[in-house]
Chains A and B, each alone.
Chain A
């Protein structure tokens, strides 16, 4: 039943099967997004065991209540990765020592990744290049605000304190940064936009 039988299914179809307690479908989704989710959790949490806990809980959450996924709100990838991000940030805010050195753009090195796997070098690698390029084009202050929030788990008030600017400035920088990021990614993904991908 598993493996090839699931390979041709779309993400949303797999989620339907997961809702019927089809473990093979969950494994197929894990094969597609487990690595991205784990990579994100590792980046935010640093510590391997905590990252594992977060990703495990994300996939178990999907298993327990797949009906919560609403295809009208976005893709399965966005759903899983957003959940991973939220849970990882919750943990990092509890475990202050995980992020105390992340006071700048250390949260994300934008140089090319030398360790990309061969099978990763097709879609995921292109996607990564696009996102990194889009981030690289942002003004430094906007990029810094976004990265501190996203990878450091800092709130806007904390970012303001770290950077030494008023809270309102941070809000404006984040809003402007996200707008530019959205436009840049729309330009990069001409045929398959992230928000239309299923």
Chain B
């Protein structure tokens, strides 16, 4: 900056600052000014409160059970040392009690099955290994359910690199999709997972809308009516919300073993 900014120009930057929307050079200039200006400091505090309120404009979405479970898992060692480990009790997302013994046992079994599905090489680099195990941990949340079934989705079109597995609980009408190597989407497109009663696409029900992200396995939870003959399929649909019914040929489909 060759010309010093006027105070009104600094005041104007405050809004962008609290929104995290300043360009790096503006942010640097404003931060330097902020350290020595009580007026702007007070203004920023008030605007930060306004920004905090903006969060409440969003329609509420219940967090999945796995969110608190993940936090609890991380804090467990320190909390246990202090002797104040909270129980897994119902909370804002309807968190319910966990049958930990059953979960651990079922998780071990499921882990073996899914690891073989993904052909996981345990000598992979540590980061890759950790990511995959973390993804599998989420999938094992369903392992308490004796009705959970594991369905491989086969690629119907494309280069053949995509892999997907659904772990579905007909008891809870929910499941987890594990997916990797899906082809990149065109602009304004999303992938959509469907629950298709007995393979009848006219009755397909939306389970999940997602976009492929990081390399490695994506683990995505969904809710959809699940019956013994429910087929799962992934299609490419218009974003951001997908379609009420499939509009394209499925990229991936999978049938339960008993269907």
Interface stretch, picked from B43-51, B155-163, B249-257, is: B43-51
C-alpha gap A158/B57 in the complex (Å): 23
The answer to whether the Cβ of B259 comes within 8 Å of any Cβ in the partner chain is no
Residues of A near B213 (CB, < 8 A) are: 47, 49-50, 95, 97-98
Decide if B19 touches A23 in the complex (CB within 8 Å).
Answer: no
Decide if A178 touches B47 in the complex (CB within 8 Å).
Answer: yes
In the assembled complex, the CB of B215 is this many whole angstroms from the nearest CB of chain A, namely: 12
Residues of B near A108 (CB, < 8 A) are: 57-58
Interface residues on B, range: 35 or more
Q: List 29 A-B contacts (CB under 8 A).
A: A1-B84, A31-B91, A35-B92, A36-B55, A36-B60, A38-B61, A38-B62, A38-B67, A39-B59, A40-B55, A49-B218, A49-B220, A52-B63, A78-B51, A82-B51, A85-B55, A100-B188, A102-B240, A128-B57, A131-B54, A135-B54, A150-B51, A155-B21, A156-B26, A175-B13, A175-B14, A175-B15, A178-B50, A182-B46
Partner of B84, one of A22, A50, A124: A22
Q: Chain A interface secondary structure, helix, strand, loop or mixed?
A: helix
Residues of B near A85 (CB, < 8 A) are: 20, 51, 55
Question: A52-B66, A77-B52, A84-B55 are contacts. A149–B82 as well, Cβ < 8 Å?
Answer: no
C-alpha gap A174/B59 in the complex (Å): 23
Decide if A34 touches B91 in the complex (CB within 8 Å).
Answer: yes
- A125-175 residues at the B interface, CB under 8 angstroms: 127-128, 131-132, 135, 146, 149-150, 153-157, 159, 171-172, 174-175
Interface string of A175-198 (1 = CB under 8 A from B): 101110110010000000111000
Residues of B near A116 (CB, < 8 A) are: 59-60
Decide if B50 touches A194 in the complex (CB within 8 Å).
Answer: yes
Residues of A near B26 (CB, < 8 A) are: 156
A-B Cβ contacts below 8 A, count: 228
Interface string of B168-192 (1 = CB under 8 A from A): 0000000000000000110110000
Chain A CB count within 10 A is highest, among B51, B70, B220, for B51
Residues of B near A120 (CB, < 8 A) are: 60
- A20-34 residues at the B interface, CB under 8 angstroms: 20-24, 26-27, 30-31, 34
In the assembled complex, the CB of B40 is this many whole angstroms from the nearest CB of chain A, namely: 12
Decide if B211 touches A47 in the complex (CB within 8 Å).
Answer: yes
Decide if A30 touches B23 in the complex (CB within 8 Å).
Answer: no
Partner of A23, one of B20, B59, B84, B89: B84
Residues of B near A16 (CB, < 8 A) are: none
Partner of A30, one of B19, B58, B71, B74: B71
